[in-house]
Structure 1
Amino acid sequence: MLIWKRNLFVCWIGVFIAAIGMSEVAPILPLYIHYLGVQNTSLVSQLSGIIFGITYLITAIFSPIWGYAADKVGRKPMILRAGIGLSIIYLLMGFVPNVYFLIALSVLQGAFTGYSTACNTLIATQTGREHVGYALATLSTAGVAGSLLGPTLSGLIEAVLGLQAVFFIISGLLLIAFIISLLFVQESFVRNDKKSQGLREIWHSVPQKELTIVILITFFVLGIGLYSIEPIMTPYVSQLSPNTSHIALISGLVFSATGLSNIISAPRLGKLSDKIGAHKVIMISLIVSGILYIPQAFVQNPWQLLVLRFLLGFAMGGLIPSISIMIKNITPDYLTGRIFGFNMSLGYLGVAAGSVLGGQIAGRFSFQYVFYITSALMFLNAVWVYFRVYKKWDKAVLSESFGKE
């Protein structure tokens, strides 16, 4: 097997497991907090929000830090650090005596993440230009697939083995990911012995500053677009469905539809990016996504919404890989980890902003306005990308290619 294919396979498994770990805790968190002795229902909800939110906030802070470390000491060491660190943290979560220890470990969980950033950087720098689009697109499906499977898996484990077993099993899976990464990931890393740089010096080293800003903010907007709908999904489905006995199941199907089609389309759109250019794929994806949000405001039943969400996933499948490919194409290898780290931070902040924005818009206006405003964001982003990236892309990539030579 070619080295890049082996690295991709191992990284896919690791990112998949890490995504399961992040997503499987959320559904059982209120139950586990109650299990740890918190009886007040309102307090359980508050603590669940704090624990879930703090993990993503700390992750956003630490992603650039681990990206910097990846550029300095190598990407494989960062994969191994995240793998063994998260494995130990999840194991300890299964033994916590009270909710305060759980909060502390959630902070550590956010601090030790970086698995996805390290894997993206490894694949981007160790894969040839002719295959990098397909490789990064395929890797992006791991996070989506893990996020889809996580909640279902945690429910099954909890029902059969109990709450603590959820943490023990994900710890064991991460340990397996650590071992196969240690044995099979291969990296040709040349250490950069330049003096450590601050943020200002790093920014001065970025060759395509304007393009980089637009790409990073596009990833932030994507996070908003994906998660602005999440807080309103269940009540919106309840409003659409006359049958209230299966609301949770129907809402889960509607939410999962986007992820499922994303998994199908991402590798194909990644290959298309290798052929026609990521800047073209991202333009098409933004426009089609903006169009598909609008009819979701006019559906008459949950199954119409499910079909539209499924179609949206096909369009969204071109966004994350294209952003990764574009970063790789205009960023020198010695800066790739740091830029990917900043990109992941903005993605997590977009998730948080989208969740808050969707809930606030629905509360102040109506569910339909969430779709209108999200669609408008996609269209505005497409216009910005067209004038600031699309029209300048070929010249920028050519310039950077000569710079690398």
Structure 2
Amino acid sequence: MLKISGRPNSWRQNLTVLWFGTFMAGIGFSEVMPFLSLYVDTLGHFSHDQLSLYSGLAFAATYLITALASPIWGKLADRTGRKLMLVRASAGMAVVFFLMGIVTNVWELIGLRLLQGVFSGYISNANALIATQVPKNKSGQALGTLVTGNVSGTLLGPLLGGILASFFSYRVTFFITGCLLLSVFFLTFFFVHEDFKPVAKALMLSTRGVIKRLTNSKLVFGMFITTMIIQAANNSIAPILALYVRQIMHGNAATTFYSGVVAAIPGIATLIAAPLLGKLGDRVGTDRIIIIGFFLAIGVYTPMAFVTNVWQLIALRFLIGIANASMLPAVQAILAKNTPFEVTGRVFSWNQSFQAMGNVAGPLIGSFVSSEFDYAGVFISTAGLVVINLLLVFFNTKEMRNARR
């Protein structure tokens, strides 16, 4: 078994390394999106319907398996340590990406996308490790910083993937990403430190036992649903974003470039705002920050449906990045502050499962709404999702507000 070493006050170094790791994991999960269907098309002679089916399977496979596998890895992390899970996930992702670059048919690609989901858990275990190491009064700031890695990687990934595929090729892009993930493996192995005392298998809590250990299980499970809806809202516009840009630019030749900018700009805003908002949440209350974020998101998604030029859309997408910076880190901080140390791994892995379900549900919602109505309808329906989330969080955090009085 991997020997896990500890080092006093090492959480700041761990945070730096894990930020890079979660950033690369976010890129790995999202950068193939601009060309995945095009790559599938190179692996055989398919009809339009077959291409749509195989592309959909390849897209959804990773997130579906992630939702199923995350709780298993979370339970193992609570018994063997989070660093071991981080090393396992980063090594597995690197190998899978190298293999994706050499597939010869679509079923090999779909199989590897399934395997990518099996090797999930880097992000949830990074959050769990930091949550158990950082002082509680700094958890909002630390987790706010960490979550910018995943969010920024996920949002910037499509832009990077499109650039790499344009300059090199689809296959070379997989190889480059595999090399970057291999660097994550080495950095995690040598520079992440964890002082972990393994829990005997006989003493491991069942799922029911974990729930009983939670001081406020209603709040924790409410945060899981909140995570799923946040991800669904963020991803509901993914299938139509480039088409919407093309529509408001009236088919301009620069549509591809501006689509990349529109996709990437929320990540830049989140990168800037999340640590600041996380620190503010430690002072004034994390629940207040997340509710403000929901109001901002509602106020931004609605006018997106009525923009008349791409610069208006870019400005509104920047504001959505700020809203994300107030919502996603706040969820992580609330979980950290309401989860006992010995079950942190499983709680954060459950949260990742709900996040993966949101990643699957969001594009499906967006595709359905755009086919039944129009592109503008997707933004209106997304604002409706955020309203539901606002009401859910408002009632679930009532005890936190009462405790401050």
Paired position in structure 2 for 1:401:
none
Distance 1:149 1:295 in 2: 23
> What amino acid is aligned across from residue 301 of structure 1 in structure 2?
N
C-alpha distance 157-357 of structure 1, shift in aligned 2 (>3 A): closer
Distance 1:240 1:39 in 2: 31
Paired position in structure 1 for 2:216:
208
2:25 equivalent among 8, 18, 26:
18
1:92 equivalent among 77, 93, 99:
99
C-alpha distance 237-158 of structure 1, shift in aligned 2 (>3 A): closer
Distance 2:20 2:186 in 1: 12
CA contact (8 A) 1:330 1:397 kept: no
Deviations 1:307-333 (A, max 9, x none): 111112112211110000000101101
C-alpha distance 224-34 of structure 1, shift in aligned 2 (>3 A): closer
Distance 2:395 2:160 in 1: 44
Paired position in structure 1 for 2:328:
320
Q: CA deviation at 1:397?
A: 9.5
CA contact (8 A) 2:156 2:267 kept: no
CA contact (8 A) 2:153 2:267 kept: no
Distance 1:176 1:299 in 2: 42
Q: CA deviation at 1:110?
A: 0.6
Structure 2's unaligned 5+ residue stretches are 1-7
Paired position in structure 2 for 1:112:
119
Distance 2:167 2:192 in 1: 34
In the superposition, the TM-score normalised over structure 2's length comes to 0.92
Report the 3-state secondary structure (helix = DSSP H, G, I; strand = E; otherwise coil) of the residue aligned with 2:254. helix
CA contact (8 A) 1:82 1:113 kept: yes
Q: Aligned pairs, how many?
A: 397
C-alpha distance 397-123 of structure 1, shift in aligned 2 (>3 A): farther
Distance 2:73 2:404 in 1: 26
Paired position in structure 1 for 2:80:
73
2:137 equivalent among 130, 135, 139:
130
Deviations 1:234-262 (A, max 9, x none): 23223322343222222222222222211
Distance 1:15 1:238 in 2: 31
Paired position in structure 2 for 1:223:
231
C-alpha distance 57-225 of structure 1, shift in aligned 2 (>3 A): same
Distance 2:197 2:178 in 1: 32
Paired position in structure 2 for 1:50:
57
> What amino acid is aligned across from residue 325 of structure 1 in structure 2?
A
Paired position in structure 1 for 2:13:
6
Q: CA RMSD in A?
A: 2.1
Distance 2:209 2:57 in 1: 35
Paired position in structure 2 for 1:173:
180
Distance 1:354 1:157 in 2: 26
Paired position in structure 1 for 2:5:
none
CA contact (8 A) 1:330 1:396 kept: no
Distance 1:134 1:108 in 2: 33
Deviations 1:193-234 (A, max 9, x none): 353443333323322111112211111110121111222222
Structure 1's unaligned 5+ residue stretches are 399-405
In the superposition, the TM-score normalised over structure 1's length comes to 0.92
- Percent identity between matched residues is 39
